[in-house]
């Protein structure tokens, strides 16, 4: 059964949801009609993910009604709703790490076919299941990765696999929670084009998109719903939302070009073709860019402020990586990566999804052992040291996935590291440093980790690393999942941390998010450094700009 064109396929009527005394949703009403792509936007903590959870049966509404195809879904869980045609992807990737890409998609297909206990037998014998899963893999650009374990994928591909699993269920309505977070501008466009093709190819009737990238929101939406503090601030066409000053001030923000939170913020090149959103309406003119090799550039590094970390007698460099090579299951991930990080400076490692940014940081932290090259901290080799030993030498790490202990409160999460690394600074003083960098966390001190938005989890992850009182702080995609109005605040917090004399190495997919205080920029592509030097010079280099989708 499908809904007639223009009918409301999914509807929320005066929906409320409470986390204890906290009112996450406060009287939200909206209707998703057949043929629409509706984007839900709002600052971090506005209630976007909570709304998606309520709409898909993951959370029950505390009050109000949710109807799918006219049926009240109260009491129906996500599995029952998926079988009815309502599915979702997740802001925080939900995949089976020990399964291959192909097996993950096959499991979704079998679930749709309701084979039940015949799951593994079906995976082994059912040719139709394999063919169906293979078609979905090809649709999402994962065809050549079907035999790779999900845990070995770059974070962006894990996100894509999560979304592909949702589409493998062939939904009538799909809700996508930040499907393009953590990837470059060019990759965002490619992912959205995949979603458009997938929605058309399998006959999806309507899409709800939760997204922070306003170019994506305005380019692919038929309608936009803006949330603030659990309430609907505005509901209208992209043109109406763009003209709404209240929404611009609270949610959208101003264009990033020239923004004080960014070092490189030039507008994207003029687009060269039209795109049509899943609802069938004309969407943005999507830029078409062509890749190209970029010549290596390596000017001398600028000098930075003095630090309490002295490093080796002959250099002020706190971290030196030379000729780093890393292979995973016979695949060469990093080749000859070299970079330096100085005390008191912010060094950015920029590259597209799968370029090698996370692998570089995880190798520095000791999670992976290099096949070649050197890693020195203050003149001392740390290759082969376990992660906890590297941490005790003064290295903090905030991973891309922002791992938070959901059963602990914000305060308990922040306090955890105070006993893991002995320092001369009292624990209370270290906690105050973290709360000073991220004041919002102090207000949420008693809130459980499960009740935080994606952006709030990101803040908590960085704050927890900062409590270690590190000399070197590694930040993997610190701006991922953050609303445009929040990014400048986090960028300033990171800059303030550097001004304390700490060294920061920051991995980022979007060059427009490079902070103003960046002292040196490295661009990585396919596991190799193709540029190292001042950020402004990278923004002027067409070859480098093409490589990172600037």
Q: What is the pLDDT of residue 121?
A: 55
Instruction: Say if strands 71-72 and 63-68 run parallel, antiparallel, or are unpaired.
Output: antiparallel
Residues of the chain where predicted confidence (pLDDT) is lower than 50: 1-3, 256-315
CA dihedral for 145, 148, 152, 157, sign (positive or negative): positive
pLDDT for the residue 289: 29
Distance CA 69, CA 506 (A): 46
What are the tokens at 324? Answer: 């780093």
Q: What is the pLDDT of residues 251-292, one digit of tens each?
A: 876 554 333 333 433 333 333 333 333 333 333 222 222 233
Q: What is the CATH number of domain 9-85+171-285?
A: 3.40.50.300
Which residues are CB-contacts of 385 (< 8 A; sequence separation ≥ 6)? 366, 393
DSSP state of 376: E
Rounded to 10 deg, the angle between the 155-168 and 185-202 helix axes is 10
Mean pLDDT score of the chain: 81
The structure tokens 């309502």 sit at: 86
For residues 531 and 521, the answer to whether their CB atoms sit within 8 Å is yes
pLDDT in the model for residue 251: 81
Task: Give which of 45, 46, 59, 44 is closest to 12, Cα–Cα.
Answer: 59
pLDDT at 125 (0 to 100): 58
pLDDT the model gives residue 451: 81
What pLDDT score does 5 carry? 52
Alpha-carbon distance of 302 to 317, in angstroms, equals 11
Distances (CA, A) of 306 to 34, 321, 380, 497, 503: 60, 21, 20, 14, 11
Can you tell me the distance from the alpha carbon of 31 to that of 14, in angstroms, rounded to the nearest whole number? Answer: 11
- What pLDDT shows up at residue 115? 54
pLDDT tens-place string over residues 161-187? 888 888 988 999 999 988 887 777 777
pLDDT at residue 465, as a whole number = 93
**In whole angstroms, how far apart are CA 192 and each of 139, 157, 188, 196, 199?**
12, 14, 6, 6, 10
What tokens were used for 545? 């700009």
Please name which of 172, 159, 164 lies closest in space to residue 138, comparing C-alpha atoms: 164
d(CA 334, CA 116): 42
How far is Cα 516 from Cα 519, in angstroms, rounded to an integer?
A: 9
Q: Where in the chain is the domain with CATH 3.40.50.300?
A: 9-85+171-285, 342-367+386-548
CA-wise closest residue to 382 among 398, 359, 366: 366
Rounded to an integer, what distance in angstroms lies between the CA atom of residue 389 and that of residue 392?
5
User: Percent of the chain beyond pLDDT 90?
Assistant: 40
Question: Does domain 342-367+386-548 match CATH 3.30.70.20?
Answer: no
Res 513: pLDDT: 85
Question: Quick one: pLDDT at residue 232?
Answer: 96
CA 106 to chain CA centroid, Å, is 25
Residue 356, token pair as written in the block: 């090698």
SS3 content of the chain, % helix, strand, coil (to 5): 35, 25, 40
What is the structure's pLDDT at 460?
A: 92
3-state secondary structure of 414: helix
Full strand arrangement of the beta sheet holding 472-476: 395-398, 472-476, 503-508, 346-350, 518-525, 528-533
CA distances from 215 to 128, 178, 376, 460, 469 (A): 38, 13, 41, 27, 38
Task: Tell me, letter by letter, the H, E, C secondary structure of 91-131.
Answer: CCCCCCCCCEHHHHHHHHHHHHHCCHHHHHHHHHHCHHHHH
Q: State whether residue 343 is helix, strand or coil.
A: coil
The rounded radius of gyration (Å) of the Cα atoms in the chain is 23
């Amino acid at each position: 059964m499908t809904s007639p064109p223009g009918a409301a396929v999914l509807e929320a009527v005066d929906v409320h949801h409470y986390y204890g005394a906290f009112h996450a949703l406060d009287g939200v009403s909206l209707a998703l009609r057949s043929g629409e792509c509706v984007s839900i936007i709002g600052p971090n903590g506005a209630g976007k993910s909570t709304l998606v959870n309520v709409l898909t049966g993951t959370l029950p509404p505390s009050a109000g009604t949710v109807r799918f195809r006219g049926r009240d879904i109260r009491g129906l869980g996500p599995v029952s709703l998926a079988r009815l045609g309502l599915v979702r992807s997740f802001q925080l990737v939900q995949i089976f790490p020990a399964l291959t890409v192909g097996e993950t998609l096959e499991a979704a297909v079998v679930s749709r076919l309701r084979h039940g206990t015949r799951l593994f037998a079906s995976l082994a014998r059912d040719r139709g299941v394999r063919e169906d899963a293979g078609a979905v893999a090809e649709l999402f650009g994962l065809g050549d990765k079907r035999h790779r374990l999900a845990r070995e994928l770059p974070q962006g591909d894990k996100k894509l696999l999560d979304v592909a699993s949702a589409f493998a269920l062939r939904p009538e309505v799909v809700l996508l929670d930040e499907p393009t977070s953590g990837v470059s501008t060019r990759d965002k466009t490619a992912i959205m084009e995949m979603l458009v093709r997938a929605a058309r190819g399998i006959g999806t009737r309507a899409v709800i998109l939760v997204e922070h990238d306003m170019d994506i929101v305005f380019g692919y939406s038929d309608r936009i719903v803006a949330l603030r503090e659990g309430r609907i601030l505005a509901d209208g066409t992209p043109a109406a939302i763009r003209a709404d000053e209240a929404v611009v001030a609270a949610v959208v923000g101003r264009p990033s070009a020239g923004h004080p939170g960014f070092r490189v913020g030039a507008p994207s090149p003029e687009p060269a073709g039209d795109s049509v959103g899943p609802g069938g309406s004309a969407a943005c003119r999507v830029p078409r860019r062509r890749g190209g090799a970029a010549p290596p550039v390596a000017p001398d590094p600028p000098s930075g402020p003095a630090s309490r970390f002295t490093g080796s007698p002959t250099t002020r460099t706190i971290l030196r990586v030379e000729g780093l090579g890393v292979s995973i299951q016979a695949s060469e991930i990093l080749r000859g990566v070299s970079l330096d990080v100085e005390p008191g400076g912010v060094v950015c490692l920029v590259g597209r999804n799968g370029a090698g940014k996370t692998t570089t940081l995880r190798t520095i932290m000791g999670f992976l052992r290099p096949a070649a090259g050197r890693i020195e901290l203050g003149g001392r080799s740390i290759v082969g040291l376990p992660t906890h030993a590297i941490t005790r030498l003064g290295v903090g790490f905030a991973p891309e996935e922002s791992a938070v202990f959901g059963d602990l409160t914000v305060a308990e999460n922040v306090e955890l590291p105070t006993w893991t690394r002995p320092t001369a600074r009292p624990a209370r003083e270290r906690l105050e440093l973290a709360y000073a960098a991220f004041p919002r966390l102090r207000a949420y001190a008693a809130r459980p980790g499960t009740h935080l938005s994606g952006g709030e989890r990101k803040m908590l992850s960085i704050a927890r690393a900062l409590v270690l009182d590190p000399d070197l702080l590694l930040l993997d995609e610190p701006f991922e999942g953050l609303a445009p109005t929040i990014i400048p605040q986090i960028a300033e917090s990171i800059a303030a941390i550097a001004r304390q004399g700490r060294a920061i190495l920051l991995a980022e997919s979007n060059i427009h998010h490079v902070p103003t205080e960046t002292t040196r920029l490295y661009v990585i592509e396919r596991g190799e450094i193709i540029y190292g030097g001042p950020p402004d010079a990278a923004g002027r280099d067409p070859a480098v700009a093409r490589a990172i989708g600037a």
